[in-house]
Chain A
């Protein structure tokens, strides 16, 4: 029986391995094919991800709420340390495995249509597959070193994809920014991994973070961090947590490392959908989920505060932006803030639940944004206008032109606004209720956290309602400004509609819970250890929040369709603060980027002038020396040899004359010789 179970586990591991490697295979196929096979590459990637999705569904069914499956083999040995590499499947990783595939599949299908006119179609799908591979491998890795490798690969492949249109200057700047920001987080994670290894002498995630694992057994007492086999000063534990937080903040775009995400909108919209839903930004929350036992109460509180601050800040910024994708980007930051905050208040299950629901509706919203932007670009190109196709000020009235897209956007927006019957309602209310429950017995400042969370959720309702109303209701503002436009837009074919339909279906409650009003009835929530709430918040709070939400929706509909004057001033300190994204980029530019650039210029100058100068002085001295020795060589040594040669040649020439074949000359020489002999004889 045991053997049989083991065999099943091995099969599961093989299926997981296949699911992870399929996109890699697609990547290899796509980069090795010549470009004339262009259109095939989209289907290669899509079929790979489809296979991967089917396999991961099987793995999910086997592992979810069953036992943990962990298999590994020796990877390498350094000294006495044996490092194992393998696959760890528990509820968290199979959920992520399935989620990544389920999000990536519609994105792939959508991309085959969305990118079909791009000249680098082939490269796009190669990168896309590589991105999926990195993320899938990340979620199943059982070892911190392996985890770190795929963590870097996720960052690197997102770098490739954000800078996919590398001929645009802005895309290059954006992907550089994303990469550098992520490097800061990577450094943090690396430091944390090294500290953990120093303390526990293992990289194995299962050993470290299991229920009764090494982390669980170690305590901090009197400034000493004691583990079963070693102890370190407590400061290292704080450093390790700080490092992990940096990693999470960089990947999941949390304050203070969030500024890369809005700029990352320079990539293709389908990539934004993938990055924002399931791959890149989810990695940070996933990491937090993996190493959750490490954080103690104080550190969790910091997490909660930072998450809440990020959520609130990003929501206020989203209120004032006019770029469709930028609003959605800030919305993502805000929702990720919710997840981090949920982790911080101990609502582990709610956080992951929100990650899952958010993945579907945010992916849906981005795909909708892609269609809208494409159609606006159509209008621009057909009429030769000079407008920004992403600016929502130019849109309006698109619900008649794009009915299907409108329906999908509405579903996504309702889920984001967390109205009842949607999946967003379940997960977000879970977080809010538990946030209120958490603040009991805590001080006044921490009581602000849930209040700000509620405020943020109302802000969310407002900004998403603003987007929907501005884009889909009223009249097309471009057409009002310049009448007589030729407007020929449509929802697009099945390749657009099927992914939207799939994702929209996943935005409703039945997929997650049979009871549309109770988050704790949801299977995702039940799959993870959560905190029980026996407070009254669960009954009152959702009602209050949603009534407020509905009022806000009506209010913003009235404002933005022009039925009512806009009561908000469009200038002033607060508006400027939000509109300029809280001046984070300016501050970073002033405080970090500028001094860094100056320092780099200075070192460049130093390098160019001083070091290169020294080197060139050396070079000149060398040249002078070699000229001298060349002169010496030419004139003295060669001169001596030339002299020898001249002497020999002279003798030779002289002697040659006697051998000219001229008889009389021989005779004459003979005569001279005899005469000389006689003369000498006379003289001597």
Chain B
């Protein structure tokens, strides 16, 4: 029997991996991947806690919305990365420190 705790542990590990990637990677794509990992950790939590609401399945529903929204934000993020690359000829966020005009 897979307990809630196991889900939460996996989720936490996923989140930490994502957080680590976001903080440490030098490539915007990898950072984006990190963000996706963290998002998925959150969605995993939503689904895992969804077992306490078997009638409305609100957790499942919310996870679906989140996945869709995540896809949308990812698209937007990729577009930004593309523009950033066009502007700076790099996608290392450490080197893109000129957000002013």
Nearest CB on A from B26, distance (A): 9
In angstroms, Cα B19 to Cα A671, docked, is 9
Q: Which of A663, A667, A668, A671 has the most CB of B within 10 A?
A: A663
Q: Are A661 and B23 in contact (CB under 8 A)?
A: no
Nearest CB on A from B85, distance (A): 15
Q: Are A664 and B98 in contact (CB under 8 A)?
A: no
- List B contacts of A671 (CB < 8 A): 19, 23
In angstroms, Cα B13 to Cα A657, docked, is 30
In angstroms, Cα B99 to Cα A661, docked, is 8
Q: Are B97 and A661 in contact (CB under 8 A)?
A: yes
- List B contacts of A660 (CB < 8 A): 97
A643-684 with Cβ < 8 A to chain B: 660-664, 667-668, 671
Q: Are B94 and A664 in contact (CB under 8 A)?
A: yes
B23-75 with Cβ < 8 A to chain A: 23-24, 31
Q: Are B97 and A662 in contact (CB under 8 A)?
A: yes
Nearest CB on A from B39, distance (A): 15
Nearest CB on B from A558, distance (A): 126
Q: Are B97 and A664 in contact (CB under 8 A)?
A: no
In angstroms, Cα B22 to Cα A663, docked, is 10
In angstroms, Cα B28 to Cα A664, docked, is 10
The 4 closest A-B pairs by CB, nearest first: A661-B97, A663-B93, A668-B23, A662-B94
A327-356 with Cβ < 8 A to chain B: none
Q: Are B99 and A664 in contact (CB under 8 A)?
A: no
In angstroms, Cα B49 to Cα A312, docked, is 150
Interface size on B, residues (CB 8 A): 11
- List B contacts of A668 (CB < 8 A): 23
Closest to B31 in A: A664
In angstroms, Cα B93 to Cα A667, docked, is 12
- List B contacts of A663 (CB < 8 A): 93, 96
Nearest CB on B from A176, distance (A): 86
Nearest CB on B from A661, distance (A): 3
In angstroms, Cα B96 to Cα A663, docked, is 8
- List A contacts of B96 (CB < 8 A): 663
Closest to A668 in B: B23
18 sampled A-B residue pairs with Cβ under 8 A: A660-B97, A661-B97, A661-B98, A661-B99, A662-B93, A662-B94, A662-B97, A663-B93, A663-B96, A664-B22, A664-B24, A664-B31, A664-B93, A664-B94, A667-B22, A667-B23, A671-B19, A671-B23
Total A-B pairs, Cβ < 8 A: 20
- List B contacts of A664 (CB < 8 A): 22-24, 31, 93-94
In angstroms, Cα B23 to Cα A415, docked, is 129
Q: Which of A662, A664, A668, A671 has the most CB of B within 10 A?
A: A664
In angstroms, Cα B23 to Cα A660, docked, is 15
Nearest CB on B from A174, distance (A): 91
Nearest CB on A from B20, distance (A): 10
Nearest CB on B from A139, distance (A): 98
Closest to A660 in B: B97
- List A contacts of B31 (CB < 8 A): 664
- Contacts A662-B97, A664-B22, A668-B23 known; 6 new A-B pairs at CB < 8 A: A662-B93, A664-B23, A664-B93, A667-B22, A671-B19, A671-B23
Nearest CB on B from A461, distance (A): 119
In angstroms, Cα B19 to Cα A661, docked, is 19
Closest to B94 in A: A662
In angstroms, Cα B96 to Cα A660, docked, is 11
Binary CB contact string for chain B from 68 to 101 against chain A (1 if under 8 A, 0 otherwise): 0000000000000000000000000110111100
In angstroms, Cα B98 to Cα A661, docked, is 7
Nearest CB on A from B15, distance (A): 12
Nearest CB on B from A334, distance (A): 110
Closest to B23 in A: A668
- List A contacts of B99 (CB < 8 A): 661
In angstroms, Cα B94 to Cα A662, docked, is 5
Nearest CB on B from A502, distance (A): 105
In angstroms, Cα B91 to Cα A663, docked, is 12
- List A contacts of B19 (CB < 8 A): 671
In angstroms, Cα B27 to Cα A581, docked, is 118
In angstroms, Cα B22 to Cα A668, docked, is 9
Nearest CB on A from B21, distance (A): 10
In angstroms, Cα B98 to Cα A671, docked, is 23
In angstroms, Cα B31 to Cα A668, docked, is 13
In angstroms, Cα B16 to Cα A671, docked, is 12
- List A contacts of B23 (CB < 8 A): 664, 667-668, 671
In angstroms, Cα B99 to Cα A81, docked, is 95
In angstroms, Cα B19 to Cα A664, docked, is 10
- List B contacts of A667 (CB < 8 A): 22-23
In angstroms, Cα B24 to Cα A662, docked, is 12
Closest to B26 in A: A664
- List A contacts of B24 (CB < 8 A): 664
Q: Which of B22, B98, B99 has the most CB of A within 10 A?
A: B22
Nearest CB on A from B76, distance (A): 16
In angstroms, Cα B31 to Cα A664, docked, is 9
In angstroms, Cα B19 to Cα A668, docked, is 9
Q: Which of B19, B93, B98 has the most CB of A within 10 A?
A: B93
In angstroms, Cα B93 to Cα A663, docked, is 7
- List A contacts of B94 (CB < 8 A): 662, 664
In angstroms, Cα B93 to Cα A664, docked, is 7
Nearest CB on B from A213, distance (A): 106
Closest to A665 in B: B94
In angstroms, Cα B93 to Cα A660, docked, is 12
